[in-house]
Amino acid sequence: MSTSIETLQPTPKTQRYGSGAIAFHWTMFVLVVSVGVLGLLHDSWPKQTQRFWINIHALLGLALWTVLIARFWWRLRHAPPAPFANLDALSRRLSGPVHFALYALMFVTPIVGLVTFVYHGRVLDFGVFQVNFGIASNRAIFHPTEDLHGYLAYAIFGLAGVHALAALWHQFVLRDGLLARMWPKTLA
């Protein structure tokens, strides 16, 4: 299995995504991993720092949601490249629903997380200012939404894992150059 730079080069027929789409994709990747790690560590934080790390988790979750909305807006104004010519029928059939499900989950999960955050009676601390929603902690709301938020996050992890495995399958098994469409040019 070769991981040389040449294997990341697109074939002459392959059209790459633009730098904007690539930047959005990899920014969202970093945010999903960061928010996910912080979420998974939630119960491991010492009580003294737990409020701080929950706030960071919430701020990064809001950043992810904002980048997703910006990505939708950007996509409306920038057409994607032509469909990948070498894509097999199964990959072609599954890629659309998997991407749609990922986007839907990344849209809904931060909203549910914000509801959980607010009904925990928490204050968003941006460092230079705070947003106090003025809502007292309400276990009847935050407990089920906290569970739902966690389940949705696990669904994102699962679908993102399938997405990554499919890209690696195309790169290292099929060697069809699909990954090069979304790989930054400076790394290719």
Q: Read off the pTM.
A: 0.87
Element containing residue 19 per DSSP (H, E) = helix 19-40
Residue type, 34: S
Note the pLDDT tens digit of each residue in 58-111: 999 999 999 999 999 999 999 988 877 778 888 889 989 999 999 999 999 999
